[in-house]
Amino acid sequence: MSVPDNQDVSLLAVDAITFRHGFTRRTNVSGELSSRVTADGGQKVSGSKHDTADGVWCVLGEPRTVAQIGQSGFAWIGLDMQHGAFDDTSLMSTMQMLSTLPQSPMVAVRVAELSDARIGRALDLGADIVIVPMIETVEQAQQAVAAADYPPNGRRSWGSLVSQWGHVAPTPAASNPEVWVMLETPAGVEAAEEILAVPGVAAVFVGPFDLAIGLGVDVTDLLKAQHADDPLPRIVAAARRTQKQTGAFAGDPTRAEALRSIGFSRVAVATDSALLALGAASVLGHDAGTTLRTY
């Protein structure tokens, strides 16, 4: 009996997600993933602006695992520096590993807090998208945008590190990072349209667990509440009125479908730890069952 290598296990994990646990691969309307060319000629895969683009939320802080997932066809990868194991060292190693791929997904980094230093550092290391948690006011959204942009529009300091692993750093004028603001409190929901109208905010990203805690409801009930005046539909409506993208963390197929039905297009459909568990279960012929950690 041959033993699968790491890439085989990674691909088996994706197949397990796709065929055994209810996920469907989602692409843009043309049936293909779109891409953009980086400054040094590489390609970043992304979804189209108005269509679904499945992502993976990575919390393990393991660069090689992320690189394997990066070859599996997902449109974007989220690296969690708030509640995950990623720190500055593991983030740098991960970005270096991803830079070796001929075609890699868009990389979103959730920083630990609203901080000029943390936002700038994630972008210096090559993040395409920075996700900023706990945004509740227009002023906080403006601060996040300013931290991600160079003068005269912002206050980010120049210091890109991607040239250290052979990439060409974009000039300040050509730099175009996306800022996704997290609305995960009642105050954030109330101010959603004003926050998303801030120039430079590219998308809203919802953490349903924190939002459910803040609202005093169960996350399942939050996802079931799909009337126009309920919290999640209100956020989607605000994004549509301001012509901004919508994203959310799901972590499993049931929550992913619920979020899509509400109107969220950039959904983190699984975690890296869940993919590993599903891949192992597939190799062993077991059902991963309810033991998966999907949040």
Q: 227 catalytic, yes or no?
A: no
Q: Which helix (H) or strand (E) holds 122?
A: helix 116-124
Instruction: Work out whether the CA dihedral 213, 293, 122, 42 comes out positive or negative.
Output: negative
Kindly report the backbone phi and psi dihedral angles of residue 248, in degrees, each rounded to the nearest multiple of 5, phi listed first: -160, 155
Q: Which of 21, 83, 167, 286 is catalytic?
A: 83
- Distance (Å, whole) CA 225 – CA 21: 24
- Alpha-carbon distance values, 258 to 166, 224, 250, 288 (Å): 41, 7, 9, 22
Closest CA to 143 of 198, 80, 203: 198
Name residue 78's amino acid. Answer: G
Residues 170 and 160 sit within 8 Å (Cβ to Cβ): yes
Structure tokens belonging to residue 201: 């905010």
- Distance (Å, whole) CA 151 – CA 137: 23
Rounded to an integer, what is the distance from CA 116 to the centroid of its chain?
Answer: 20
- Distance (Å, whole) CA 41 – CA 136: 38
Kindly report the backbone phi and psi dihedral angles of residue 79, in degrees, each rounded to the nearest multiple of 5, phi listed first: -110, 120
Query: What does DSSP say about strands 266-271 and 34-37: parallel, antiparallel, or unpaired?
Result: unpaired
- Distance (Å, whole) CA 269 – CA 57: 8
DSSP 133-172: ----SHHHHHHHHHHHS-TTT--PPP---GGGGTPPPPPT
Active site residues: 83
